[in-house]
Each structure stands twice: as structure tokens, then as C-alpha cells.
């Protein structure tokens, strides 16, 4: 892939607004802030904005940008497969839009689209771009490196999941050479508080397991008793991973009366994205999400996942 047109588009606009997906994770934020520092460091005369409608407690940054600014700006949307998931609809007002992502390209909503679905993270896609022939005369600062590393580390779960490749590690090594504080970043991203520690214990106790499938269904009452929001609870699906007996693991949370959202994960050999699509969701080969499932759909899905494991 060449990035000449991307470079031209970036240079053409005096004002650039960087977007991410709703309920941002470490990759959405790391990519957004990494690109922010890259653009700010190399184009000090441009106005660069980190667009945020909602916040993430580990990286509290960003702002809403008014329509007058959006109307003259280049918008760059990161880590977001489809337009409905962008945080938020402000992107529609941008003069020109670029998508940079690593999810399967289901919606080419940009005027330009740069999608590498083999990349571990959007931050890795940004590394491919920023280190390419079209950009390599520009500087990658310590701040930029720190946040890109955060994005890679988050989406690869510390370089442990199948999306981690030699390329991922090469980029991580390049970024680490910028003298970033790897220990501090790991603590910031992954150290848990006491409340989360207790939550994990309850989650483990509530886990059902049969025929290779581990799952937890949390209804509104559970969530209220445990004092967690549904979306926050679903972030803990990875805690069900790394168990030898589990081939697929799933966390279901009741998001509104009678409707459930699912977070699904699987071992490398089992692709779950087709089943996720069947139920109106999507994502990666081994990591998917589904929204608005009725309880009977949840049970059908559990049945389908078991069949898939035992096929």
C-alpha cells in the first residue's frame, strides 16, 4: 500500500480532527494520541484536535469540536470499522474524511481508506504508515511512540494473542527505542484496583463451562448488585481467557430491558466471526461483539458456539 495521497491530504489541510470509536479502548486512544503528537510535532502550524465525546479513565483527553472548525477540517477516523461506531456523529461535518483501521473493512466510509486487517492494532497500521517511504522523513517523538506502543500493547494483550506477529514486535522495538517508559505504561494500562479484583473473583465463580465453552450471563440485577456498568463489565471478557479447557469464552450483559450484548473470544484455531455476523455482530476472527440479543438468542448462540467447537 502506498501513502502518497494520504500525505498530500494531510499537508493540504490547516486543521485536522482525529476521531476514534465509541467506548474507546487502549488502541483507539493510543492511536488517536499517537497520531495527534505525530501531526503536532511535524506540522506545528496546523491546528490538530483530538475529538472526544466520552472519556476513558486511563487517558482523559480530547474535546468536542464546533461545526465551524469541522467544516474546514480534514477528519481522520481511527480504529473504527463502521460509521455508526464513530464517537460521535461530528465526523459528518468534516470537509474530507480518511479512515485508518485494522478491522475487516465492512464500511469504506472515508474519502480515502487505509485498512490493514492483518495488523494487530490500529496503532500498528499507523506504524506501517509513519515508517513508510512516504512519511519516513518526518519525526516520531517520544510522546508519539509512547501512545502508539500503548495501542499495540492493548490490542495484543501484551503481545500474547494470535494477531501478534514479527512485524508487530519490530514496530514495538522501534517505538521502545524512543526511550518510552514501558514499565510505567504497563502499570497504567493493566494494573487493576481492588474493586476490579473483586469483580474478577465473582466473574470466575459465575462462569458456566461445558463442551469447551465458558460463559457468563450478567443480568441487570447482577450488574446493579456488583456496582458495574454493562459496557465496563464486558471489558473483562479477556479475564476468561488463557484457560486450557476454554476454546471459546463469552460474556453477556443485559444492556436494556431484556436485551443483551455479547463479547466473544476464541482460541486461534476457531474462527467466531461468521457466527457473530449471523447474530448481527462482527469483529475480528478471534474477537467479536454482538448487540441487542434477546435472551432466547443468547441461548441459541451458546448452542451454536458449542456446535462450532465440537464440529
Tell me which residues touch Mn ion (CB under 5 A). Answer: 27, 79, 121-122, 155
C-beta of 39: minimal distance to Mn ion in Å?
20
Only one residue has cell 435472551, namely: 295
Q: Which residues contact 181 (CB under 8 A, 6 or more apart)?
A: 146
C-beta of 27: minimal distance to Mn ion in Å?
3
C-beta of 81: minimal distance to Mn ion in Å?
9
C-beta of 115: minimal distance to Mn ion in Å?
12
Considering only CA atoms, which of 301, 246, 263, 308 is closest in space to residue 279? 301
Which residue number is nearest to Mn ion in terms of Cβ?
27
DSSP state letters, 6-63: HHHHHHH-SEEEEEEESS--HHHHHHHHHHHHHHHHH-TTSEEEEB-SS-BTTB---B
Residue number, 207 or 289, with CB nearest to Mn ion:
289
Residue number, 27 or 239, with CB nearest to Mn ion:
27
C-alpha span between 232 and 229 (Å, rounded): 5
C-alpha span between 151 and 82 (Å, rounded): 19
C-beta of 28: minimal distance to Mn ion in Å?
6
Residue number, 19 or 199, with CB nearest to Mn ion:
19
Only one residue has cell 486543521, namely: 15
Residue number, 79 or 239, with CB nearest to Mn ion:
79
Residue number, 290 or 298, with CB nearest to Mn ion:
290
The beta-strand segments (E) located in 175-245 are 208-210, 213-218
C-beta of 130: minimal distance to Mn ion in Å?
17
Alpha helices by DSSP H, listed for 67-121, are 67-71
Distance between the two ends of the chain, CA-based, in angstroms?
38
Residue number, 109 or 199, with CB nearest to Mn ion:
109
Amino acid at each position: 500500500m502506498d501513502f502518497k495521497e494520504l500525505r498530500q491530504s494531510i499537508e493540504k489541510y490547516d486543521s485536522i480532527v482525529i476521531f476514534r470509536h465509541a467506548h474507546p479502548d487502549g488502541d483507539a486512544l493510543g492511536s488517536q494520541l499517537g497520531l495527534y503528537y505525530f501531526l503536532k510535532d511535524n506540522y506545528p502550524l496546523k491546528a490538530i484536535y483530538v475529538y472526544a465525546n466520552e472519556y476513558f479513565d486511563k487517558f482523559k483527553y480530547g474535546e468536542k469540536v464546533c461545526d465551524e472548525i469541522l467544516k474546514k477540517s480534514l477528519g481522520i477516523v481511527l480504529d473504527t470499522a463502521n460509521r455508526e461506531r464513530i464517537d460521535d456523529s461530528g465526523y459528518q461535518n468534516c470537509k474530507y474524511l480518511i479512515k485508518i483501521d485494522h478491522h475487516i473493512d465492512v464500511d469504506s466510509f472515508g474519502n480515502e481508506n487505509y485498512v490493514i486487517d492483518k495488523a494487530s492494532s490500529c496503532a500498528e497500521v499507523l506504524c506501517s504508515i509513519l515508517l513508510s517511504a512516504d512519511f519516513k522523513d518526518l519525526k516520531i517523538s517520544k510522546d508519539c511512540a509512547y501512545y502508539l506502543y500503548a495501542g499495540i500493547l492493548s490490542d495484543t494483550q501484551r503481545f500474547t494473542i494470535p494477531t501478534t506477529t514479527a512485524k508487530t514486535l519490530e514496530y514495538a522495538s522501534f517505538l521502545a527505542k524512543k526511550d518510552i517508559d514501558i514499565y510505567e505504561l504497563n502499570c497504567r494500562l493493566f494494573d487493576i484496583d481492588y474493586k476490579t479484583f473483586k469483580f474478577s473473583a465473582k466473574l470466575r465463580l459465575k462462569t458456566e463451562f461445558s463442551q469447551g465453552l465458558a460463559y457468563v450471563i450478567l443480568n441487570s440485577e447482577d450488574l446493579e448488585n456488583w456496582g458495574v456498568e454493562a459496557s465496563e463489565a464486558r471489558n473483562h471478557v479477556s479475564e476468561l481467557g488463557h484457560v486450557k479447557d476454554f476454546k471459546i469464552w463469552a460474556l453477556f450483559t443485559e444492556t436494556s430491558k431484556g436485551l443483551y450484548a455479547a463479547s466473544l473470544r476464541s482460541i486461534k484455531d476457531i474462527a467466531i466471526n461468521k457466527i457473530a455476523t449471523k447474530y448481527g455482530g462482527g469483529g475480528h476472527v478471534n474477537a467479536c461483539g454482538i448487540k441487542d440479543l434477546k435472551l432466547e438468542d443468547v441461548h441459541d448462540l451458546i448452542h451454536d458456539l458449542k456446535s462450532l467447537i465440537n464440529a
